A and B are shown apart, each in its own frame.
Chain A
């Protein structure tokens, strides 16, 4: 089986779920749903930053959709995407129906502020602290927003793409041919 067929097969499996969730979200939130796609077996929905709390709360509490479990959340950085450099990814899981979706929010790096979802899932507390620690995303309303894995006195956000992995002043190594 080649990759394209494999991806297509997974996409087809996720299509009905994608359609259902998209219909419910657009019906309820209209313009706040900026786009949707299917990545492998995951329906992905891009949501407006201002509406993210309401959307997640709706997805959690709605009896039909019932995405009650927050699997994971993490920050993203795409420096080439102008005006939407930063992002947050949330992954939700409905256990009884065994359906999973991914929610994306994008925003500019000059304005890296997100509403907190710790009021919806306490589990988001450390996930958001991690996103703040590594990407510098400020979570408004977070009960304890401080660095979690790095030292408290560092001034940079290491998982942003502009932060070099190696000492940039090093001269003994040439990475023009290999490496990113």
Chain B
């Protein structure tokens, strides 16, 4: 196109599009995501996502690992809320073998899973703030994520990829330190969350920036199999914790927050509200847990490692110890699907067991792998800066996307 003839406007057929590589290492993509964008000025005409940069073949790896060694793989799916993934896997195997856990253990799991949900939402929501240019909220609220990680650390020794709990319960009882850290968190977190809400929720600049950006209609959400906060932001009150309660979620009283038009602001607000609900669930669980009780696992000798003293003095315990450590536990043959409400949607495990020591086939229903395919359609026709915001508000986690 010639620049000399200023008076002449470009005809539609000679319109020049720019191809823009967004990612894979652009800092605003928050992970290794690549999108090849066809741009008309600053408007996105077409987007083609490329994924798989950190693919680690989890489904194949799981076919070679004994059941209890699959848990560390699940850590690395949605690594912002590893405990939920771990618990989801434990419950899948428990469903396969028909294990029933004591209420105390289930409530302890609920506490850990809801802490994980809060940590997940903290990351997602504060990063939406960062992408709109508001660093302050991010810097302040991240200390609460640290405190949650301190609790994980006291329970299981790890912070990010937790490998928390075991098939059949927990690896050890919660110490007094754990209970006191959880109490401190429950007491102090409302202050931190209120502070974060005050910075963003009714902030004129933030609202103008996020309302109507990247909207997802109910129809689109259903067609693309959306789950989790992204679906609820579109106005559909679907939550696995309520639809198919696991780990005694039916004992708790909480509401499912929903949005109206499924834009960035709605997704943000749904997560904000879910953090308050999670906090209320934790409080209800704490009220009903007997802290002095020594019960931290169910009667699942095939999977729960016996006490060392037992191993030395009891033949049965010695046999089970050997079988667990060598990964020779027998499980029934069968096909089972179990799903949990992960940080960003319905995380499901479809497990085929042929009775061998490892899963015959393990398929993971990874929520963001399924809903991320709607991303090109959501951002079509929007500005580049809105596309960045849409991505961060969808809570796409590279580890889960690429499995």
**B-contacting residues of A (Cβ < 8 Å)?**
1-7, 39-40, 42, 44, 68-72, 74, 76-77, 89, 91, 95, 98, 100, 102, 121-123, 125-127, 130, 134, 147-150, 158-159, 163, 165, 178-180
Q: B45-75 CB contact bits vs A (8 Å, 1 = yes)?
A: 0000001100101011101100000000000
Closest to B352 in A: A76
What's the Cα separation between A121 and B221 when bound, in Å? 11
CB distance from B314 to the nearest CB of A (A): 22
Q: Which residues of A contact B374 (CB under 8 A)?
A: 122
Residues A122 and B98 in contact, CB atoms below 8 Å apart: no
Min CB–CB distance B365 → chain A (angstroms) = 4
Q: Which of A3, A72, A147 contacts B365 (CB 8 A)?
A: A72
A-B contact pairs, 10 of them (CB 8 A): A3-B98, A5-B98, A40-B337, A71-B348, A89-B350, A98-B244, A126-B373, A149-B52, A158-B57, A163-B60
Q: For the complex, would chain A's binding face be called helix, strand, loop or mixed by DSSP majority?
A: mixed
- The chain A residue sitting closest to B363, CB to CB, is A74
Residue contact B350 to A74, C-beta cutoff 8 Å: yes
Give min CB distance, A48 to chain B, whole Å.
20
CB <8 Å contact, A180 and B64? yes
Chain B residue numbers with a CB within 8 Å of A5 are 98
Are A69 and B363 interface neighbours, CB within 8 A?
no
How long is the Cα–Cα vector from A130 to B369 in the complex, in angstroms?
10
Q: A1-B100, A134-B59, A159-B60 are in contact. Are A68 and B222 (CB under 8 A)?
A: yes
- B356 part of interface (Cβ distance < 8 Å): yes
Give the nearest-CB partner of A179 in chain B. Answer: B64
10 cross-chain pairs, A with B, having the tightest CB-CB distances, nearest first: A6-B98, A123-B225, A149-B52, A3-B98, A72-B365, A74-B363, A149-B55, A39-B335, A126-B373, A123-B224
A75 to chain B, nearest CB (A): 9
Selecting from B164-172, B261-269, B326-334, B382-390, the interface stretch reads B326-334
**Does chain A have a CB within 8 A of B30?**
no
Q: Are A91 and B350 in contact (CB under 8 A)?
A: yes
What are the residues of chain B within 8 A of A158 when measuring CB–CB? 57, 60
- CB of B379 to closest CB in A, whole Å: 16
By the criterion CB–CB under 8 Å, are B346 and A71 in contact?
yes
Please tell me if the beta carbons of B223 and A148 are within 8 angstroms of each other in the complex: no
- A148 touching B332 by the CB < 8 A rule? no
Say which size band chain B's interface belongs to: 35 or more
Q: Of all chain A residues, which has the CB nearest B402?
A: A149
Q: Are A178 and B327 in contact (CB under 8 A)?
A: yes
> Does B225 contact A125, Cβ atoms closer than 8 Å?
no
Partner of B370, one of A3, A72, A100: A72
Question: In the complex, what residues of B have CB within 8 A of residue A1's CB?
Answer: 98, 100
Chain A residue nearest in CB terms to B236: A95
Assess whether B26 is interfacial by the CB under 8 Å rule. no
Cα distance, A5 to B326, chains bound together (Å): 28
CB contacts (< 8 Å) of B52 on chain A: these are 147-150
A80 to B112, CA, bound (A): 42
Query: In the assembly, what is the distance between CA of A149 and CA of B243, in Å?
Result: 31
Report the minimum CB–CB distance from A144 to chain B (whole Å).
9
Task: Give chain A nearest CB distance to B374 CB in angstroms.
Answer: 8
Q: Nearest residue in B to A3 (C-beta to C-beta)?
A: B98
In contact, B350 and A95 (Cβ under 8 angstroms): no
Does the CB pair A149–B403 fall under 8 Å? yes
Residue B336 interfacial (CB < 8 Å): yes
- B291 adjacent to chain A (CB < 8 Å): no
Q: A71-B225, A149-B51, A165-B60 are in contact. Are A95 and B243 (CB under 8 A)?
A: yes
Instruction: Kindly list chain B residues whose C-beta atoms are within 8 Å of the C-beta of A76.
Output: 352, 361
The reply to whether A39 and B63 contact each other, CB–CB distance below 8 Å, is no
Cα distance A140–B122 when bound, in Å? 43
Nearest B residue to A44, CB-CB: B335
Assess the B326–A178 pair: CB atoms within 8 A: yes
In the complex, B95 has a CB within 8 A of chain A: yes
Contact status A72-B55, CB under 8 Å: no
Measured CA separation A81–B165 after assembly (Å): 37
B64 CB contact (under 8 Å) in A40, A44, A134, A165: A165
Residues of B within 8 A of A122 (CB): 223-224, 373-374
Interchain CB contact (< 8 A) of B336 among A2, A40, A70, A123 = A40
Chain A residues whose CB sits within 8 angstroms of the CB of B59 once the complex forms: 134, 159
Q: Are A121 and B223 in contact (CB under 8 A)?
A: yes
Interface residue B357 (Cβ < 8 Å from any Cβ of A): yes
- Which B residues are in CB contact (< 8 Å) with A39? 334-336
A168 to chain B, nearest CB (A): 13
**A109–B57 alpha-carbon span in the complex (Å):** 22
- Taking the complex as formed, is B22 at the interface, i.e. its CB lies under 8 A from any CB of chain A? no
Q: Kindly identify which residue among B51, B238, B337 contacts A102, using a CB–CB cutoff of 8 Å.
A: B337
Q: Which residues on the A side are within 8 Å of B181 (C-beta)?
A: none
